Structure 1
Amino acid sequence: MKEHVKETFNLLAHIYEHNVDTTSLYNIEYERPSMLKQLPEDLTNKKVLDAGCAAGWYTDQLIKRGANVVATDISQEMVAATKRRVGSFAEVVCLDLETTAMPFESNSFDIIVSSLTLHYVKEWTQTFREFQRILKPKGVLLFSVHHPFMDIKMSKNKDYFSTELIIDKWEKAGKEIEVPFYRRPIHSILNETMHHFTIEHVMEPQPTINFKLQAEENYEKLMKNPHFLIIRAINKDE
């Protein structure tokens, strides 16, 4: 599975770097506005981990807000794309979020941002344990994932309460690309988070008016069928 994810996002890196930031309404007019509202405009002197940076859009936004940023991705091609985007303004490393020990000191980050990444991780326990370790006391974990309401529609067995491997198919640049991810029920998402953190806010984002102006039919679908879930949580460690 991990190798499949790496291969998939190595293939998608060029598309993310050159197209997603300007053409994907689901990113630019749906998920990202809601995520950014949960972050301070001024991140000066804050150390932030962009966990699952893809081609570095969030990395760049965090830098522009004054943060000291470390960005990671499992895909070497995504790491290369992020380095091209931000140059020496962030530390960018190739990292598997399911690793037993992240190469960061304990209590070293003020914020961890993880955008549409954790549904590619099968087991969250070790990942969240490491997130908790490297976050400062009262540090913030902000992450977005697929909404279970959307994912269950792609399930073959329709067993809502299971954690299930789904193979989605994306049409990108005239090609059909298989994208594997894990579907999980909402109680699993919330309980795993609460085991390590205190949940402060749960959001089911809504598309912007700009989304509606450009794709009204899809806008109406999203207003009735949420695609993403956003959680802001605080580190329990004192």
Structure 2
Amino acid sequence: MKDKILNAYARLAKDYELHVDTSSGHNACYERPAMMKLLPGEMDGLTALDAGSAAGWYTEQMIRRGARVTAVDMSPEMAEACKRRFGDAAEVLVCDLSEPLPFGEETFDVIVSSLTLHYISSWGPVFREFRRVLKPGGRLIFSVNHPFMDFTHFDRPDYFKHEPLSETWNKKESGPVEVSFYRRPLHEIINTVTGYLTLEQLVEPQLEESMQEHPNFRDWFARWGEHLKKHPHFLIVQSRK
């Protein structure tokens, strides 16, 4: 499974670097606005980890807010895209979140993980490491596919099953790419978080309506807007050490 994910994102890296920020409504109009509301407005003096950075959009936002940022991604191609974006403005590493992290204890004030953890089957080791590298009082903010969305969109027979899924993404640079990930019920998500950290907030994102007239996203709103007003697609969780 890990090799399938790595191969998929090796092919998708160019699309993330060139197009996601300006053409993906699910990111720009839905997930990112909700995540950004949870981040501190001023991050001067804070250390932050972008855990699953892809091409580095969240890394850029945290740098702009004053944080000292380290970005990690399992995909070497994504890490290279992130490096091209920032040069020396952030430390960028190839790093598998399911393995021990190459950081000392209590290193980070904030960890952000955007739409990454559903690519990992076993969350226990990941959250153990997140807790280890967070400073006391530090926050973890992450987003994943919403369990209700996975269950209904893929027409699964058993909501409570932890299982792998796959779908095909057809992107401009890569063409069709099979993307694999894991679905799990809500209680498994919450129980894992609370086994290591203190749960502070659950967010089911709402559309950023101000983006509706943006020329890049009019077609996306026409296709997805009414659906996402009534059907959650992502889940965001904020917790604290």
- What is the Cα deviation at residue 176 of structure 1? 1.5
Q: Structure 1: state its 5+ residue gaps.
A: none
Residue in 2 that maps onto 1:136: 135
Residue in 1 that maps onto 2:35: 35
1:66 alignment partner, SS class: coil
Name the CA distance, whole Å, in 2 between partners of 1:161 and 1:205: 23
Name the CA distance, whole Å, in 2 between partners of 1:64 and 1:201: 24
Q: Deviations over 1:34-78 (max 9, x none)?
A: 100101111011000000000011111111111000000000000
2:205 alignment partner, SS class: coil
Name the CA distance, whole Å, in 1 between partners of 2:6 and 2:60: 22
User: In the TM superposition, what are the counterparts of 1:205-220 in structure 2 within 5 Å?
Assistant: 205-213=205-213, 214=218, 215-220=221-226
Residue in 2 that maps onto 1:97: 97
User: In the TM superposition, what are the counterparts of 1:29-68 in structure 2 within 5 Å?
Assistant: 29-68=29-68
Residue in 1 that maps onto 2:234: 228
Q: Is the 8 A contact 1:114 1:143 kept in 2?
A: yes
TM-score, normalized by length of structure 1?
0.95
- What is the Cα deviation at residue 208 of structure 1? 1.1
- Residue identity matched to 2:112: V
TM-score, normalized by length of structure 2?
0.94
1:224 alignment partner, SS class: coil
- What is the Cα deviation at residue 210 of structure 1? 3.3
- Are residues 96 and 168 of structure 1, via their aligned partners in 2, closer, same or farther at CA, if it must alter by over 3 Å? same
- Residue identity matched to 2:126: T
Name the CA distance, whole Å, in 1 between partners of 2:187 and 2:198: 15
Q: Is the 8 A contact 1:50 1:112 kept in 2?
A: yes
Q: Deviations over 1:91-123 (max 9, x none)?
A: 000011000x21100011000000000000110
Larger mean Cα displacement after TM superposition, 172-181 or 106-115: 172-181
2:229 alignment partner, SS class: helix
**Are positions 1:149 and 2:155 aligned together?**
no
Identical-residue share of aligned pairs (%): 47
1:166 alignment partner, SS class: strand
- Residue identity matched to 2:171: K
Name the CA distance, whole Å, in 1 between partners of 2:7 and 2:205: 29
Q: Deviations over 1:72-95 (max 9, x none)?
A: 000000000000001101100001
Name the CA distance, whole Å, in 1 between partners of 2:156 and 2:25: 30
Residue in 1 that maps onto 2:69: 69
Q: Structure 2: state its 5+ residue gaps.
A: none
Residue in 1 that maps onto 2:84: 84
Q: Is the 8 A contact 1:211 1:219 kept in 2?
A: no
**Are positions 1:172 and 2:178 aligned together?**
no
- Are residues 111 and 197 of structure 1, via their aligned partners in 2, closer, same or farther at CA, if it must alter by over 3 Å? same
Name the CA distance, whole Å, in 2 between partners of 1:55 and 1:6: 15
User: In the TM superposition, what are the counterparts of 1:8-19 in structure 2 within 5 Å?
Assistant: 8-19=8-19
- What is the Cα deviation at residue 212 of structure 1? 3.9
Larger mean Cα displacement after TM superposition, 151-160 or 39-48: 151-160
Residue in 2 that maps onto 1:184: 184
Q: Report how many residues are paired.
A: 234
